[in-house]
Amino acid sequence: MKEVGDITKMPRGIDRGLAGCHVCHKVAPVSVERCPRCGSHLHLRKKDSIARTLALVVASAVMYVPANILPIMNFRELGVRTESTIISGLIQFWNAGSYPIALVIFTASILIPFMKIASLLWLCAAAKGKIPNSGKTLGKVYWITELLGRWSMVDIFVVAILVTMVQLGNYMRVTPGPGALAFASVVILTMFAAMSFDPKLLWDQLDSPPEKTGPNPDNEP
Amino acid sequence: MICHFCDTIHEAEPIPEGSRVSCVCCDATLYQNRPASLARVTSFSVTALLLMLVVHTAPFITMDAADLRTKLTLPGAAMTLIEEGSPIVGVGVALFTIVTPFVLSSGLVYVCAPLMFGKSAPGAMTVTRWMNRTEPWNMIEVFLLGVLVSLLKLGHLAELHFGIGFWAFTVLMFCMAAATAAIDRQELWDRLEVANEK
């Protein structure tokens, strides 16, 4: 392997006007606009990456509230109606002694969405240079965020299955609640947010630290 | 080659089958040479398509409670959600568990099978581009976890029987995972490029 020097002084595509196609990975000068192999749009950095990511993250953070407060399912047993939120379902499993399954639901439905929102905000702040940045660590954070996103969908599928299975006439029925829609939109919005974030921005920030033109007035006595 | 995570330029060199190269700057995997990629992708995707037939027709689970019998199938679950007042969630479930896996595996067969013989199917590049986009939305393994959680919820309530659909779905999950894990993007695109030039 080649000798690894200072990782902030690696030859970057952006310095030479070369773009790696996002779809087929071919390297081409960005000036040709479309990838000569697969025809996808070429760009050095994803367009308005931070603004788009932030917008989607804020939207999903807003939806996170009703997703946890509103019932995701309504149970109707012999005419008695009980509402079930994500947290009440979790508590039910915990009280019944099914700790492993309670942990799975806690991780997929509460922890992962929360961590995704938090880590995307962290990534955006780091890419903007507002907080210290280590490309390697944050790159991993980004990779994990993208990887885990889909697993939060599990609660929506549980709703789908219960609604289908528990249709026992007057004896017992399950219907979907408004929380399900809110929760599904959190998952989908965070997935789009993760996709619109460009991890290369983290490295741009490392290559050219706080690029303020002229002396910073705050540092002058 | 340019790293997709940190934009570092690398010189591409052929590497032995089954090995991988990582970015010198950020350690992300740059390229992995996967053995017999096209043959594996095609065979696993064909199997997945056949299994889908079974999965969508045979019930996953049947539940007997109070003289009533209910069945779970994937299209059935999506339809019930739509009928019970959550049309958007229902369409979402159908998209992530029925449409996406189908588009993905049929697309893979369409592109990879002719490529094994050095031919490119009409519009193969467009199809490959679209598959790239649909891949993260394939959620069948997540649905299987959902089935298991629901079983635990329903277990004390009624008598449950696993149907053929459930076992077919489990195998389908492994086939889809094996098919997507066998894709060698670099090789796929290189071969597409060569086949299109002919």
Name the minimum distance, in Å, from the CA of A119 to any CA of chain B.
16
pLDDT less than 50: residues of chain B: none
The b/e string for A31-69 (b: 16+ C-beta within 10 A; e otherwise) is: eeeebebbebebebbbeebbebbbebbebbbebbeebbe
Q: Is the minimum CB–CB distance between B8 and chain A shorter than 8 Å? A: yes
| pLDDT computed for residue A54 by the predictor | 92
Q: What is the rounded CA–CA span in Å between residue B15 and residue A164?
A: 50
| pLDDT computed for residue A219 by the predictor | 40
Secondary structure (3-state) at B138: coil
Q: Are residues B93 and B132 in the same domain?
A: yes
pLDDT digits (tens, 9 = 90+) for A161-177: 888 888 776 677 888 88
| pLDDT computed for residue A6 by the predictor | 60
| pLDDT computed for residue A1 by the predictor | 40
Q: Are residues B87 and B149 in the same domain?
A: yes
**Which residues of chain A make contact with B24, given a CB cutoff of 8 A?**
1-2, 4, 7, 10
Secondary structure (3-state) at A167: strand
Which of B2, B9, B80 is facing A163, going by the closest CB pair? B80
For chain B, helix (H) and strand (E) counts, in that order, are 8, 5
Question: Chain B interface, mutation test: which of A164, A189, A204, A208, most B Cβ atoms within 10 Å?
Answer: A164
pLDDT digits (tens, 9 = 90+) for A59-104: 999 999 999 899 888 888 777 888 888 888 888 888 888 888 888 8
| pLDDT computed for residue A44 by the predictor | 81
Q: Are residues B52 and B24 in the same domain?
A: no
Secondary structure (3-state) at A213: coil
- How many CB atoms within 10 Å of residue B25? 27
* CB atoms A169 and B6 under 8 Å: no
Q: Is the minimum CB–CB distance between A13 and chain B shorter than 8 Å? A: yes
pLDDT digits (tens, 9 = 90+) for B28-63: 777 777 777 888 889 999 999 999 988 888 888 888
Count of structural domains within chain B: 2
- Chain centroid, CA B114 distance in Å: 20
Q: Are residues B164 and B76 in the same domain?
A: yes
Q: Give the Å distances, CA to CA, from A46 to A6, A88, B44, B140.
A: 26, 40, 33, 29
Residue of A nearest to B67 (CA): A168
Q: Is the minimum CB–CB distance between B4 and chain A shorter than 8 Å? A: yes
Q: Are residues B63 and B129 in the same domain?
A: yes
CA proximity to A138, closest of A74, A203, A184, A193 = A203
**What is the gyration radius of the CA atoms in chain A, in angstroms?**
23
Q: Are residues B75 and B165 in the same domain?
A: yes
CA proximity to A188, closest of B6, B132, B32, B92 = B92
Q: In degrees rounded to 5, what are phi and psi of residue B17?
A: -60, 140
Q: Are A171 and A85 contacting, i.e. CB atoms less than 8 angstroms apart? A: no
Beta bridge partners of B20: B32
Half-sphere exposure of B18 (CA within 13 A, CB side): 0
Q: Are A28 and A19 contacting, i.e. CB atoms less than 8 angstroms apart? A: yes
**Which residues of chain B make contact with A154, given a CB cutoff of 8 A?**
142, 145-146, 149
Q: Are residues B121 and B146 in the same domain?
A: yes
| pLDDT computed for residue B71 by the predictor | 82
CA proximity to B145, closest of A115, A178, A107, A185 = A107
Q: E strands within chain A?
A: 18-20, 27-29, 73-77, 80-84, 167-168, 172-176
Which of A12, A157, A159 is facing B8, going by the closest CB pair? A12
| pLDDT computed for residue B45 by the predictor | 92
Q: Are residues B117 and B45 in the same domain?
A: yes
Q: How many A×B Cβ pairs under 8 Å?
A: 198
Q: Are residues B88 and B24 in the same domain?
A: no
> Range of B6's domain?
1-33
Q: How confident is the model at residue A2 (pLDDT cuts 50, 70, 90)?
A: very low
The b/e string for A118-136 (b: 16+ C-beta within 10 A; e otherwise) is: ebbbbbbebbebeeebebb
Q: How confident is the model at residue A214 (pLDDT cuts 50, 70, 90)?
A: very low
ipTM of this model? Answer: 0.84
| pLDDT computed for residue A215 by the predictor | 43
**Which residues of chain A make contact with B9, given a CB cutoff of 8 A?**
10-13, 16, 18, 27
Question: Chain B interface, mutation test: which of A45, A161, A197, A200, most B Cβ atoms within 10 Å?
Answer: A161
Q: What is the pTM of this model?
A: 0.83
Q: Is the minimum CB–CB distance between A2 and chain B shorter than 8 Å? A: yes
The b/e string for B122-159 (b: 16+ C-beta within 10 A; e otherwise) is: eebbebbbebbebeebbbbbbbbbbbebbbebbeeebe
The pLDDT mean for chain A works out to 80
- Chain centroid, CA A192 distance in Å: 7
* CB atoms B70 and A167 under 8 Å: yes
The residue assigned the tokens 């009409």 is B122
Name the minimum distance, in Å, from the CA of A215 to any CA of chain B.
29
* CB atoms A155 and B7 under 8 Å: no
Q: Are residues B22 and B47 in the same domain?
A: no
Q: Are residues B13 and B63 in the same domain?
A: no
Percentage of residues of chain A with pLDDT beyond 90: 13
Which of A13, A157, A167 is facing B2, going by the closest CB pair? A13
Residue of A nearest to B87 (CA): A181
Q: Is the minimum CB–CB distance between B134 and chain A shorter than 8 Å? A: no
Q: Are A182 and A152 contacting, i.e. CB atoms less than 8 angstroms apart? A: no
Name the minimum distance, in Å, from the CA of A212 to any CA of chain B.
22
pLDDT digits (tens, 9 = 90+) for A135-161: 778 888 888 888 888 888 888 898 888
Q: Which two tokens stand for residue A203?
A: 């490295």
* CB atoms A157 and B28 under 8 Å: no
The pLDDT mean for chain B works out to 84
Q: Are residues B118 and B28 in the same domain?
A: no
Q: How confident is the model at residue A216 (pLDDT cuts 50, 70, 90)?
A: very low
Name the minimum distance, in Å, from the CA of B102 to any CA of chain A.
18
Please give the average per-residue pLDDT across A121-125, as a whole number: 88
Q: Which helix (H) or strand (E) holds B145?
A: helix B140-154
Look at the alpha carbons of B109, B112, B116, B122 in this order and tell me if their dihedral is positive or negative: positive
Q: How confident is the model at residue A186 (pLDDT cuts 50, 70, 90)?
A: very high
Q: What is the rounded CA–CA span in Å between residue A52 and residue B169?
A: 37
* CB atoms B149 and A10 under 8 Å: no
* CB atoms B193 and A39 under 8 Å: no
